[in-house]
Amino acid sequence: MTGLDIFKLLPKTNCKKCGQATCLAFAMALANAKADVAQCPDMNDTARDALEAASSPQIALVKIGVGPDEAQAGNETVLFRHDKCFVNPTPLAVLISDRCENPAAEALKANNLVFDRLGQMHGINLLAVQNHSGDPVTFCETVRSVSEKTNFPLILVCEDSLAIEKALEVTGAKKPLVYAANEENYKVMTELARKYNVPLAVKGRDLDHLAGLAEKVAALGHRQLVLDSGAQNVRQVLADQTQIRRQALRRFRPFGYPTIVFAANSRDPLQAVIEAGVYIAKYAGIVVLPSADPEVVLPLVTLRLNIFTDPQKPAAVDSRIYEIGSPGNSAPVLVTSNFSLTYFCVASDVEASRVPAYILPVDTDGVSVLTGWAAGKFTPEKIAAMLKESGIEDKVTHRRVIIPGGVAVLSGKLQDLSGWEVIVGPVESSGLPAFLKRRWVAEKA
């Protein structure tokens, strides 16, 4: 809605209760997402509902699980990442069959699968328990066994409402995703989802059937939905995911929910990775994988990190003192930029040197050393201020700082401004182990 469209729904009293001088100014602020509908206390309910519906994300946010391990899907607003950004990284689930000999061991395996990427820990987000046996009791016991061994949210993959009901009696409080409601069982599945307040997957035969089924479920009063078009081959899944996203962004309400796809149908791990990569890149809300093997999960975690990086916001670490090892008051002090990749390269190479040290990443708005220097963001003034304000002077007794060799030109002015002796380090961080041992440890000895 435009500012003028919003203005027509406002009380037009210019009461200033919203913090704006006029109702028109408030309308323009709403249109630019710089204000909230709740800031206008005099708006009638009809107008408020209309504005909230218009301002809500085209794809609803669905939460699976509870607590810190809660998985989220949806809330997306764009077709292309460069238009704004993608919001919620695609949750990855691992499939566990109720025919599995040791489902608890599979859950523990998933728990331990964690990767350190740029200082952040990443891995899978969900466990999907599938009723391959067809027996409600076996399925329920498998769900119980897996639930007791993990904090990951669960997906209950079963179209038998009796088995789902038994499983929800065990795990309903943990808010699993129920998969799936179809044409035959959607009424009872919706009733169960509402009873336990859990999200529900809706599975259609094709897009037209899915749209109609989603409308039927929503009409029963449940809107925590996840969509599955029912497509099996990669080409059709890709086409369906694209159409669902396009129609959702045009506010076609039956498709205004995140989707779920299965890359678990392939017995070839490489093929599963390829399929899952396609789905992550093209709009899947949740992707289910065949196993928790590292060779399957790691490439997808890496791909997900790249796709769900905000292109308008470089990855950056906080500008503060970082301790590598257990540095004392004679440890070296190194300065770099706060671009994540730069910092973690420097930190890794300092660790490799086995020389405890302090690293001070200067705030360069998340750009590298040379880029920051060229843009006037990595300057003697900023480095001197960092040395003075960070508290490093209280941690070391010496006054020597190591700067990157690529910006050796800064050394003279930095020394004058800070009063510290400036040592020009190697151009590449890979040279730090040898440099620290030669220039710091040897001189100290």
Judge if 226 and 294 occupy the same domain.
yes
Considering the domain architecture, whether residues 329 and 398 belong to the same structural domain is answered as yes
Task: Output the domain CATH number for residue 15.
Answer: 1.10.15.40
Say whether both 269 and 293 belong to one domain.
yes
**Number of structural domains in the chain:** 3
Which of 307, 335, 353 is a domain's end point?
307
Report in angstroms the alpha-carbon separations of 370 from 212, 324, 436.
56, 23, 22
pLDDT of 22 > 80? The answer is: yes
How confident is the model over 295-326, as pLDDT tens digits?
999 999 999 999 998 877 888 899 999 999 99
Let me know if residue 69 belongs to a domain. yes
How does pLDDT run across 280-290, given as a tens digit for each residue? 999 999 999 99
Distance CA 6, CA 400 (A): 60
- Is there a single domain that holds both residue 290 and residue 270? yes
Same domain, 202 and 69: yes
Looking at the fold, whether 94 and 50 belong to one and the same domain comes out as: no
DSSP helix/strand/coil, 228: strand
Give the pLDDT score at 54: 76
DSSP notation for 39-57: G-TT--HHHHHHHHHHHS-
Contact 114, 72 (CB under 8 A): no
**327-355 mean pLDDT:** 94
Rounded CA separation 159/385 (Å): 63
Query: What is the CATH classification number for the domain harbouring 155?
Result: 3.20.20.20
In a domain, residue 130? The reply is yes
Residue 150 has pLDDT above 70, yes or no: yes
Cβ density class 71-101: b for 16+ within 10 Å, e for less: bbbbbbeeeeeeeeebbbbbbbbbbbbbebe
Q: What are phi and psi of 46, to 5 degrees?
A: -65, -45
- Do 24 and 129 sit in the same domain of this protein? no
298: in domain: yes
Measured from the Cβ of residue 54, the count of other Cβ atoms closer than 10 Å reads 15
| Shared-domain flag, residues 144 and 209 | yes
209-243 exposure pattern, b = at least 16 Cβ within 10 A, e = fewer: ebbebbebbbeeebebbbbbbbbeebeebbebbee
pLDDT given at position 444 = 59
Average pLDDT over residues 81-91: 91
Of 315 and 218, the one with more pLDDT: 218
pLDDT at 442: 57
- Tokens at 310, concatenated: 């905000």
Residue 315: inside a domain:
no
Q: Mean pLDDT over residues 121-133, rounded?
A: 95
Chain centroid offset of residue 371 CA: 27
Q: Which two tokens stand for residue 171?
A: 């795990």
Give the list of residues 6+ apart from residue 282 with CB closer than 8 angstroms, or none.
238, 241, 242
> Within a domain: residue 96?
yes
Decide: helix, strand or coil at residue 289: strand
Same domain for 223 and 174: yes
Residue 317 counted as domain residue: no
Q: Which domain holds residue 359?
A: 322-444
422 and 294 in one domain? no
The CATH number that applies at residue 370 is 3.40.50.11600
